[in-house]
Amino acid sequence: MRLAVAAALIAIVAFGAALRLAPARDPDGRWIGDAAFHDRMIRAVLARGAVPAVDSLSEAPAGRRVGDVLPVGLYAVAAGFDRVMAAFGVRDSRTATLWCVALAGALIAIHVYGAARALFADRWAALLAALIAVILPAHVHRTWCGWLRYEPLGTTLIMAHLAGAFGALTARTPRAARVLAAISGAWLFAAVWVWHVALLVPFIELAFVVCLAAVRAPERAVREWFTAVVIAETIAALTLGYQRHEAFAVSRGWLFTMATCAALWTPWLRRADAPRRARLAAVAVAAAIAIGVGAFGGHEREYSVMLRAIEAKIAGVTFMTAIDPLTALLLGVDELSGTAPGEWLSAGVLSWLGAWFVLLPALFWWRAGRPSPARLRDAGAAGMLYVALCVALVVVTALLTRAKVILAPLVAIGCGGSLLAILPAPAGEPAARPKRARAPRGNGIGARVILAGAFAACVIVTARDGIGLATTRRSHLDPGLVAALDYLRTHTAPDATVLSLWERGYEIQAYAERRTLVDAMLEAPVGQRRIVEIDRALMQSTTDSLAALCRRDGATWLLVPQSESLLGIALVTRPPFLDKLLPPGRPLNRQDADHVVIRMMVLGQSIAPFELAFEQRGYRVYRVAGAS
């Protein structure tokens, strides 16, 4: 039987990888946006053995210390995979990286299987969950081979961590629980080494532990597992460059996490008979310690500007009402948009299985004989952790759509487990129910056939949407941009610096091989300051500010993209005609056009000291006259 399960898992992983590799057949495929930057870093590791301490093409003229802003684990893993593929005769770096991304995404099946097996103790439910995980559009959308970003590998490592957590909380022996807890912590370290969004997970787990303490004293398995989590992330905070730069270890959030972990081992949270007031008091003391130490720590950079955008969303602020320019910009970026209610069942998120996921609580409640809410305090810690993760990630996905890739495998686990609620109960199971539990209604064959048919239909439609999504993905650059980048590469000095909008920075670095002042790394403080400066200079009526900025930072060329990029500039600078740029849009008048960016972007004018040197399909390259 074990061989059959292993063979099934291998087949599921192979199918998932093939599905994600479908777009690789596109002969015109290129790395775009963030992927162009990540590919450049991977090639740097292949050439030098490590990520460069300073990326000279970013944030000219000084360059950017990549390790202070981003996790670098992805580059080491992808470069190692490329070397392995080269040993097997695949010497094209792009092909090897495409395979790496697709396989990293498909490997989610193994960890989903492990997590579901720990939760439900049923191999068939776990295999079904693994299969659903590789076809869910929410996961496919952000793990197909052209998506050279953190999500494919990062999500797989997060699920490895969670599989270890569920295993530790359901282990039959204390020793097995400790081993699995240590494994869970190790996978968490790997996850945050690869993807900074993985830091969200330990905070959800912190919320779970706090809520559990309000219901009952956390059992030994919970204490040992959470301690392993805290130790692993604390080591990461002290060793990983981007976390050290942000002083994450002494941030209030992590201080509270460490204090809560310590409180778990006090008598007030360790004793099973500890009163509720004592348990809550222990958590309150932990919070007070964290706030107090954090206040005297003198460091309140707290992760990144992204938190401000999330707080603004929660407060109901939009890009039209935001006062802070960067917050307005972030709220207008598609990558950071939320998931509207009508999108959850769409072909790009959860498809029809989204409806099934919503009904899962009622289905399991029905399966358990409709227990009273009072019995929730007796629920298993692993099941409670699973529910906490689902609830938290639904909320996060509603705020930030990109979180759907983490939610998707949890949805797959729940859907796989629903198989147990649909199939007839094994012999002897009813006798195991508490005497006061009422027998489930509709337990006959008719109800089960209806449920099985509905579930099968949801899986089929979801599989269709996932396959359709994978086979229609493309990674193309606009021909006008390709021509402009070719011009910059062939007609400018190798050490030239190009001023552009942040959206095109990564492509200039990767394909024109020239330095830029800004790019899409919106977390970087230098980039945040320059984005506002550049946009404001472009929106002036004269070129004085723009020319002064070029002289200060050494920019000798200017790349002006198509007019669609005007909205991003307007979100930062808030000109009087901003509302005209919003759908359905209205034409600008002569007064509106009295801005440098419009005269360049729309009219293609040369405005001293900027001379038009190249133009194609709405992309224009300007030379700064008199620049060395």
pLDDT of 244-277, one tens digit each? 988 899 888 899 999 999 999 999 888 888 888 8
Answer for the pair 213, 259: CB distance below 8 angstroms, yes or no.
Answer: no
pLDDT for 362 equals 81
Q: How confident is the model at residue 322 (pLDDT cuts 50, 70, 90)?
A: confident
User: Are both 142 and 11 inside the same structural domain?
Assistant: yes
Average pLDDT on 22-35 reads 90
**In sequence order, which ranges of 195-352 are alpha helices (DSSP H)?**
200-215, 220-239, 241-245, 252-263, 267-270, 276-297, 306-314, 325-331
With respect to residue 328, please indicate whether it lies within any of the assigned structural domains.
Answer: no
User: Are both 461 and 537 inside the same structural domain?
Assistant: no
With respect to residue 289, please indicate whether it lies within any of the assigned structural domains.
Answer: no
Pick the more confident residue, 32 or 322. Answer: 32
What CATH number does residue 519 fall under?
3.40.50.12610
User: Are both 165 and 19 inside the same structural domain?
Assistant: yes
Q: How confident is the model at residue 516 (pLDDT cuts 50, 70, 90)?
A: very high
With respect to residue 462, please indicate whether it lies within any of the assigned structural domains.
Answer: yes
User: Are both 427 and 525 inside the same structural domain?
Assistant: no
pLDDT for 316 equals 77
Interatomic CA distance for residues 165 and 522, integer angstroms: 33
Number of domains present in the structure of the chain: 2
With respect to residue 498, please indicate whether it lies within any of the assigned structural domains.
Answer: yes
pLDDT for 429 equals 44
User: Are both 379 and 423 inside the same structural domain?
Assistant: yes
Domain containing 48 equals: 2-246+303-322+336-433+443-468
Interatomic CA distance for residues 374 and 367, integer angstroms: 17
Q: Which positions ≥6 away from 457 have C-beta within 8 Å?
A: 352
User: Are both 242 and 387 inside the same structural domain?
Assistant: yes
With respect to residue 170, please indicate whether it lies within any of the assigned structural domains.
Answer: yes
With respect to residue 57, please indicate whether it lies within any of the assigned structural domains.
Answer: yes
Please name which of 136, 591, 114 lies closest in space to residue 382, comparing C-alpha atoms.
Answer: 114
User: Are both 452 and 485 inside the same structural domain?
Assistant: no
pLDDT for 368 equals 67
With respect to residue 296, please indicate whether it lies within any of the assigned structural domains.
Answer: no
Please name which of 188, 130, 151, 214 lies closest in space to residue 388, comparing C-alpha atoms.
Answer: 214
User: Are both 515 and 405 inside the same structural domain?
Assistant: no
The CA radius of gyration of the chain, in Å to the nearest whole number, is: 27
Question: How many C-beta atoms lie closer than 10 Å to residue 278's C-beta?
Answer: 15
With respect to residue 159, please indicate whether it lies within any of the assigned structural domains.
Answer: yes
User: Are both 487 and 548 inside the same structural domain?
Assistant: yes
User: Are both 483 and 406 inside the same structural domain?
Assistant: no
User: Are both 29 and 52 inside the same structural domain?
Assistant: yes
Residue 309 above 80 pLDDT?
no
> What is the value of pTM for the model shown?
0.93
User: Are both 412 and 493 inside the same structural domain?
Assistant: no
